[in-house]
Amino acid sequence: MAGITIDNVTKRFGAEDNAVVAVDDVSLDIDDGEFVVFVGPSGSGKSTLLRMVAGLEQQSEGDVVIGDTVVNELGPRARDIAMVFQNYALYPNMTVEENMSFGLKMSTDMDDDEIARTVTDTAEMMGIGNLLDDTPGELSGGQQQRVALGRSIVRDPNVFLMDEPLSNLDAKLRTEMRTEINRLQQDLGVTTLYVTHDQTEAMTMGDRLVVLNYGELQQVGTPLECFYRPANRFVAGFLGSPS
C-alpha cells in the first residue's frame, strides 16, 4: 500500500511558445488508503494528471512520489498501479477467466494454480464468479464493467486509478456501481484516484474532493467542505453550492 505525493507538477503539450498548459503547478498529498475524487469541466486536466500518476504521460516539471519512491523515471508497469478507463477494453475472444488471468501471467511469477485461485477469489468478490467461462459478448454492460474492475484489481495493486469508469453506463447501473466501487475500495484499502465530471459521484464517493479548472487546483477538501465552503466562485458554480 502507498500514499502519493504530487509535487509542483506541470504538464505542457506542444511547442514552447504556444504550449497548452494541461496541468499547472499542482501539489497534493494523498494518504495511504485514501479515496480522492478529481472533478472539473472537460479539458481541466483531470485525465492528464491521472496519466502522469500512472506513468502514461511524463510531466514537464515536478515530481510524482508513490510510497517512498520518486517514480518520475518509472514506466507504468514498475509503478504497481491499476487503471480503469471509460472505454474498458476486454479481450473479446477470451473468456472472463482468461481476461482476468492475462495480466497476472504477464507480470507475476505465480504458477497456474495460484493464478486460477486468485482469479476465482477476485471474481467471487466482484459477484462474477459464475461468469468465468463466458466471453465479454455474452455479458451485460454492468457485468463487463465488473470484469474490467476485477481484471484491474486482481494483481493487488498499490494504487487504483479510475478515469470516468461509469460514464458509459445507464443511471441505474451507475448508482449500483458507485456503491460497488466504494465497497471494493474499502475492502482492499487501496489508495484510489477517481476522475469524474459527475456531480453525484463527486459528492458521494470520495474522502476528499479535488476541484480543477484550466489545469489549476481550485480547492481540496471533503465534499461537504467544498460544497458548503467553496474556495471561490468557480467551485461554488461548478458544485452548485447554495449562495
Report the interface residues with Mg ion, using CB under 5 A: 47
Residues 227, 211: contact at Cβ < 8 Å?
Answer: no
Complex with ligand ADP: residue 119 or 220, whichever CB lies closer: 220
Q: Return the one option of Mg ion, ligand ADP, none that residue 45 interacts with (CB less than 5 to 8 A, by type).
A: ligand ADP
Complex with ligand ADP: residue 85 or 102, whichever CB lies closer: 85
Does residue 20 bind ligand ADP (CB under 6 A)? yes
Does residue 42 bind ligand ADP (CB under 6 A)? yes
Binding ligand ADP (rule: CB under 6 A), the pick from 8, 13, 61, 75 is 13
- Measured in whole angstroms, the distance separating CA 55 from the mean position of its chain's CA atoms is 13
- Where are the extended beta strands (E) located within the chain? 4-13, 20-30, 35-39, 61-66, 69-70, 81-84, 159-163, 191-196, 208-213, 216-221
Total residues contacting ligand ADP by CB under 6 A comes to: 11
Does residue 47 bind ligand ADP (CB under 6 A)? yes
CB of 187 to ligand ADP, least distance (A): 28
Provide CB contacts within 8 A for 115, sequence distance 6+: 101, 104, 105, 108
Does residue 243 bind ligand ADP (CB under 6 A)? no
- The single residue listed with the C-alpha cell 503539450 is 13
Pairing state between β 4-13 and 20-30: antiparallel
Q: 70 has which bridge partners?
A: 65
Residues that bind ligand ADP (CB under 6 A): 13, 20, 22, 40, 42-48
